[in-house]
Amino acid sequence: MVRYKAIISYDGTNFSGFQRQPQARTVQEEIERTLQRLNRGQEVIIHGAGRTDAGVHAYGQVIHFDLPQERDLEKLRFALDTQTPEDIDVCAVEKVSEDFHARYNKHSKTYEFLVDNGRPKNPMMRHYATHYPYPLDIALMQEAIQDLVGTHDFTGFTASGTSVENKVRTITEARLAVDDKTGFLVFTFSGNGFLYKQVRNMVGTLLKIGNGRMPVSQIKTVLESKNRDLAGPTAAGNGLYLKEIRYADE
């Protein structure tokens, strides 16, 4: 068997998330269906670097899969790209060692979150930026977001019901900028891993801080207390993008 690594992007609007699930359209299912056709009807299982929820998008999701023979890389990429639905793109394919695993090899992830703060919102971007039509103090959010950088227990920013026991993660970058062309807020988070709905909960808290309904110290309070009830609401998934995944050996 030959192992392949692929970088894919997708518009998450019409997906129920990345991971295969019954009675729902998912990114994994669509790609596996295409690979099965390319593999003469034999099942192919793909493994992703991470799961994305319903409505969440990706520029640089990474997957790996095995095929029983070596393929021309560009022909394989082109076949996957043209035979998957239009809301999935296959950006690159490479051959990797048989011990490579998209999820378990050491890596860092970068997420981006877009917020449309306009009144009214941009209707063309309703699936691609979360609308928040309330006054925001950008400077307050830029001050508060720095408290997320470092190694912390992110229990207070995790959705209830997660099965992950160790909630300690390291965030190496957390910043907020305003896009000059669109006026959208662009939140960027990089780290060695993120918990279920962690990014969306962090953004929801920062928006509350920017709106003056939480103090600038609230990030520290949530981290120290590990109390989800003290954080802001979960921001809608349509503004979230899995931007990039970098592996330690790259």
The catalytic position among 53, 66, 81, 153 is 53
Q: How crowded is the C-beta side of 184, counted as CA atoms within 13 Å?
A: 20
Residues 6+ apart with CB under 8 A from 3: 64, 65, 66, 95, 96, 97, 98, 100
The three-state (H, E, C) secondary structure of the chain, written as one string = CEEEEEEEEECHHHCCCCCCCCCCCCHHHHHHHHHHHHCCCCCCCCEECCCCCCCCEEEEEEEEEEECCCCCHHHHHHHHHHHCCCCEEEEEEEEECCCCCCCCCCEEEEEEEEEECCCCCCHHHCCCCEECCCCCCHHHHHHHHHHHCEEEECHHHCCCCCCCCCCEEEEEEEEEEECCCCCCEEEEEEECCCCCCHHHHHHHHHHHHHCCCCCCCHHHHHHHHCCHHHCCCCCCHHHEEEEEEEECCC
Bridge partners, residue 151, by sequence: 170
Query: Active-site residue 53, yes or no?
Result: yes
Residue positions annotated with a catalytic role? 53
